[in-house]
Amino acid sequence: MPAIGVVAMLIASAGAAWAESAPTGHDVLRLCGGPAAMAAPPPTCVGYFEGALDAAGTELARRRLTACPPPAFGAVEAAALFALESRRFPEALDAPAADLVAGMLLKFFPCTGV
């Protein structure tokens, strides 16, 4: 097999492994100690949402995401909002957490005049 074929196979299998291991909404709630703990989330939970907000900021800069959370909206607020939305829509928690966070940002913080 040509070297390019081996590289393509490795990339494809890495992508499949990532898709299988991407955390779901349930995983994030477990990481955060459940919906009741989101008012004072543990550091691992805050870290997840800091990363999610950083990624959202990058996607916004690239114009791939059109959500505009206010500057004061941080990881703790994102965790609390995620908990609230998880109680409203528990059936959605099987979806990848990154998709749920992006959808949450789009729902609550649509950009206006951009």
- The set of residues, in sequence order, having a beta carbon less than 8 Å from that of 98 and lying 6+ positions away, is 22, 23, 52, 55
Rounded Cα distance, 12 and 45, in Å: 30
Return the axis-axis angle of helices 43-61 and 75-88, rounded to nearest 10°: 90
pLDDT, tens digit (0-9, with 9 covering 90-100), for 48-105: 999 988 887 777 767 776 788 898 999 999 999 999 999 999 999 999 999 999 899 9
Q: Quick one: pLDDT at residue 89?
A: 94
User: Is the pTM above the cut of 0.85?
Assistant: no
What number of other Cβ atoms are within 10 A of residue 53's Cβ? 18
* Higher local confidence (pLDDT), 19 or 43: 43
Q: Which residue has the tokens 């995401």?
A: 65
Per-residue model confidence (pLDDT) at position 111: 84
Q: Which pLDDT belongs to residue 95?
A: 96
What's residue 113's pLDDT? Answer: 62
- Tell me: the pLDDT tens digits for 8-29? 443 444 444 444 678 999 999 9
Query: Per this entry, what is the length of the chain?
Result: 114
- Within 8 A by CB and 6+ apart from 29, the residues are 35, 83, 86, 93
